[in-house]
């Protein structure tokens, strides 16, 4: 999620992503193919049921506003009014009416949808010894044909459950990639019960805005197992299938439980009217919105956002301020080439337009019980959550030392430098150092030349500080490496680009 830099391809720490559904920058569609169904018949090619590339969906008006205090989940899918869903990785399809699933995968999914309550992932009874090795072996084999496997999965899903197609974005290429990255993330976190549990609970809460219900899990499990059996044939067998059944059951239940808990105290989404739209550069806009209901969050977190022009397409953006007494929320958005949502927000959105927000998420928050300093690296629009963290510390009045390194490719991209320098003038515990990449024009007074991690190394070591990073995934990776080398242990380094790092083998 940047870590959610605010662009379509970013991750949440800067404003672009922590989650299973952060869209990839590529729009290349995988090749079409046929896919046999579970009963041995062969459905039409994926293009017939789910074109990989379609014309943009028709524009719609602003989403309907919920009444004050509304707490219901997103509407259930109906033929005339499809559920508001993008495509959760393990949760989409309504189950058919069979009461006795024919396969072990269906039986496990049946359990996840409301049968026996399995133990959560990482807890005794959720999985068995050796499951992780079997699952990882099948995923390693699946990686070699990931495009074909994910295309097969969706072809099978849409042929067996054709009414689901309208619940998905018009162009399915990005969605295919998100599914595979989601599986990869879960598998690589399989042995860390706490981290994986938190990750899945966050997904379960976030999936409420898609209209996901417990009864949606079985069909996805059925089609997922079929795809694994077809594209991981050498590692697939009864033991591997049983391991996947146990894992999928536990994963599903963790997400279902988290969604049920969230439904008790918060709506599935918030409608938010744009009250201010300021273009800082041709590509960057600072957007302030007023949600229709109180929106609780913490500085350093992010949310998912849907525009009226691209229904069912959500992108992650970080909050650019700490919680305010007036309840307003601010985001920094950078438009990127072929960025549907980001381009609409920067170039098209105006005051009065109504956006839709998912629940807050992210762990890049300040532990106010500690007294250590904060070493913050913000790249591009990744400065947004860093600014929120500074405001959070200021609001506590503790005066903890905060060192901010604000990096950009050129001085022109330091669009929020004046704001950060104004905060530095106000608080003697805050230091802000602009960093312009090598080759940029150093027109900014006192700017450092070079890459952001290299600039931080010049002023290290930082053993008494906690690290916070927000920006593009590449910057997060190199930044984490730099901070560890400067004496900050990994458990004191926070960012929200987990899925990108995991998917790249970090």
171-207 in b/e form (b: 16+ CB < 10 A) is bbbbbbbbbbbbbbbbbbbbeebeebbbbbbbbbbbb
Distance of CA 176 to the CA centre of its chain: 15
Residue 16 lies in a domain: no
- Distances in whole angstroms, Cα of residue 291 to Cα of each of 275, 353, 382: 10, 12, 23
What's 247's domain CATH number? 1.10.490.10
| Spacing of C-alpha 446 from chain mean position | 35
Phi, psi angles (nearest 5°) of residue 317: -140, 140
- Is 55 part of any domain? no
Task: Starting at the earlier edge strand, list the strands of the sheet with 373-379.
Answer: 448-449, 430-436, 402-408, 373-379, 465-470, 493-494
Q: Is residue 294 part of a domain?
A: yes
Could you identify the residue written with the tokens 């162009």?
Answer: 171
Among 231, 263, 295, identify where a domain stops.
Answer: 263
Are 465 and 484 within one domain? yes
Tell me the pLDDT of the chain (506 aa) as tens digits.
Answer: 444 445 454 434 434 333 332 233 332 322 223 333 333 333 333 333 333 333 333 333 334 333 333 433 333 333 333 333 333 333 333 333 232 333 444 444 433 333 333 334 444 345 677 888 999 999 999 989 988 998 898 889 889 888 777 667 666 666 666 666 777 777 777 777 888 888 888 888 888 887 778 888 888 889 899 999 999 999 999 999 999 999 989 888 999 999 999 899 999 999 999 999 999 999 999 999 999 999 999 999 999 999 999 988 889 999 999 999 999 999 999 999 888 899 999 999 999 999 999 999 888 999 999 889 999 999 999 999 999 999 999 999 888 999 999 999 888 899 999 999 999 999 999 999 999 986 655 567 778 888 999 999 999 789 899 999 999 888 999 999 999 999 899 999 999 865 544 433 33
Residue 294 CA to residue 324 CA, distance in Å, equals 11
- CATH code: domain of residue 284: 2.40.30.10
Residues 155 and 205 occupy one common structural domain? yes
202 and 306: one domain? no
pLDDT of 217 reads 84
pLDDT value for 115: 37
**Pairing outcome for strands 493-494 and 465-470:** parallel
Could you say which of 263, 292, 325 is where a domain stops? 263
| Residues 245 and 286 occupy one common structural domain | no
Closest C-alpha among 264, 359, 259 to residue 319: 359
pLDDT of the residue at 50 = 36
- Domain check: are 386 and 352 in the same one? no
Whole-number pLDDT of residue 65: 39
Residues 157 and 274 in one domain: no
pLDDT value at position 441?
Answer: 54
Instruction: Give a yes or no: residue 239 inside a domain.
Output: yes
Residues 246 and 286 in one domain: no
Within-domain flag for 63: no
Phi, psi (degrees; rounded to nearest 5) at 378: -125, 120
Residues 253 and 278 in one domain: no
* Nearest Cα to Cα of residue 283 among 419, 385, 406, 381: 381
Regarding whether 170 and 219 lie in a shared domain, the answer is yes
Same domain, 321 and 448: no
| Cβ atoms of residues 271 and 63 within 8 Å | yes
- Provide the domain limits for residue 335: 270-357
Report which of 247, 147, 242 is spatially closest to residue 189, judged by C-alpha positions: 247
In a shared domain, residues 461 and 353: no
The pairs formed by 64-69 with CB atoms below 8 angstroms and a separation of 24 or more are 64/271, 65/271, 65/292, 65/354, 66/267, 66/269, 66/270, 66/271, 66/292, 66/293, 68/292, 68/293, 69/293
**Residue 55 has what pLDDT?**
37
Q: Are 104 and 221 in contact, with CB atoms under 8 Å apart?
A: no
88 inside domain? yes
pTM: 0.70
Same domain, 222 and 319: no
Task: Assign residue 412 the CATH number of its domain.
Answer: 3.40.50.80
Q: Is 265 exposed, middle or buried (0-12, 13-18, 19+ CB in 10 A)?
A: exposed
Q: Is residue 297 part of a domain?
A: yes
- The domain total for the chain is 3
Find, among 109, 115, 136, 89, the residue nearest to 245 by Cα: 109
Please answer whether residues 270 and 295 qualify as being in contact, where contact means their C-beta atoms are separated by less than 8 angstroms. Answer: yes
| Domain assignment of residue 240, yes or no | yes
C-alpha–C-alpha distance, residues 237 and 366, integer Å: 46
Structure tokens at 93: 């399809």
pLDDT of residue 497: 65
Q: Which of 329, 357, 385 is at the close of a domain? A: 357
3-class DSSP state of 476: helix
How does DSSP classify residue 466?
E
The DSSP string of 219-240 is HHHHHHHHHHHHH-TTT-SHHH
How far apart CA 506 and CA 500 sit, in angstroms, is: 9
- Which among 180, 163, 158 is positioned nearest to 34, based on CA atoms? 158
């Amino acid at each position: 999620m940047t870590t959610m830099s605010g662009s379509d391809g970013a991750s949440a720490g800067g404003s672009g992503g922590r989650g299973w559904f952060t869209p990839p920058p590529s729009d290349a569609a995988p090749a079409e193919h046929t896919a046999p169904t579970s009963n041995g018949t062969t459905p039409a090619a994926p293009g017939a049921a789910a074109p990989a590339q379609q014309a943009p969906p028709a524009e719609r008006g602003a989403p309907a506003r919920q009444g004050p205090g509304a707490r219901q989940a997103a509407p259930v899918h109906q033929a005339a009014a499809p559920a508001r869903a993008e495509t959760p990785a393990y949760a989409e399809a309504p189950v058919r009416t069979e009461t006795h699933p024919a396969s072990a995968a269906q039986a496990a999914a049946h359990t996840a949808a409301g049968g026996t309550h399995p133990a959560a992932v990482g807890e005794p009874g959720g999985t068995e010894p050796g499951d992780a090795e079997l699952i990882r072996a099948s995923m390693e084999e699946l990686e070699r044909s990931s495009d074909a496997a994910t295309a097969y999965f969706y072809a099978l899903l849409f042929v067996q459950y054709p009414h689901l197609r309208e619940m998905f974005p018009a162009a399915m290429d990005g969605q295919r990639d998100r599914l595979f990255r989601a599986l990869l993330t879960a598998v690589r976190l399989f042995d860390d019960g706490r981290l994986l549990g938190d990750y899945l609970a966050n997904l379960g809460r976030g999936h409420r805005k898609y209209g996901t219900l417990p009864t949606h899990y079985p069909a996805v499990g059925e089609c997922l197992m079929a795809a694994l059996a077809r594209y991981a044939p050498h590692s697939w067998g009864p033991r591997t299938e049983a391991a996947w059944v146990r894992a999928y059951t536990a994963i599903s239940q963790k997400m279902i439980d988290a969604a049920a808990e969230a439904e008790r105290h918060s709506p599935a989404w918030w409608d938010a009217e744009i009250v201010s739209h300021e273009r800082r550069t041709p590509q960057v806009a600072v957007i302030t919105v007023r949600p229709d209901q109180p929106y609780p969050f913490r500085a350093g977190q992010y949310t998912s956002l849907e525009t009226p022009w691209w229904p069912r397409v959500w992108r992650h953006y970080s909050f650019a301020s700490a919680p305010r007494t007036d309840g307003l929320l601010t985001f920094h958005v950078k438009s990127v080439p072929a960025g549907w949502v980001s381009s609409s927000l920067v170039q098209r959105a105006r005051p009065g337009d109504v956006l839709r927000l998912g629940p807050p998420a992210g762990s890049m928050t300040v532990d106010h019980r500690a007294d250590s300093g904060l070493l913050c690296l913000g790249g591009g629009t990744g400065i947004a959550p860093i600014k929120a963290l500074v405001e959070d510390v200021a609001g506590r009045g503790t005066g903890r030392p905060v060192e901010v390194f604000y990096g950009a490719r050129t001085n022109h991209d330091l669009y929020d430098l004046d704001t950060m320098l104004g905060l530095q003038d106000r608080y003697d515990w805050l230091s802000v150092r602009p960093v312009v990449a090598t080759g940029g024009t150093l027109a900014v007074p006192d700017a450092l030349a070079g890459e952001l991690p290299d600039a931080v190394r010049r002023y290290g070591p930082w053993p008494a500080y906690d690290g916070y990073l927000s920006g593009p995934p590449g910057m997060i990776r190199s930044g984490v490496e730099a901070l560890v080398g400067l004496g900050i242990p990994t458990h004191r380094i926070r960012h929200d680009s987990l899925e990108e790092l995991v998917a790249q083998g970090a």
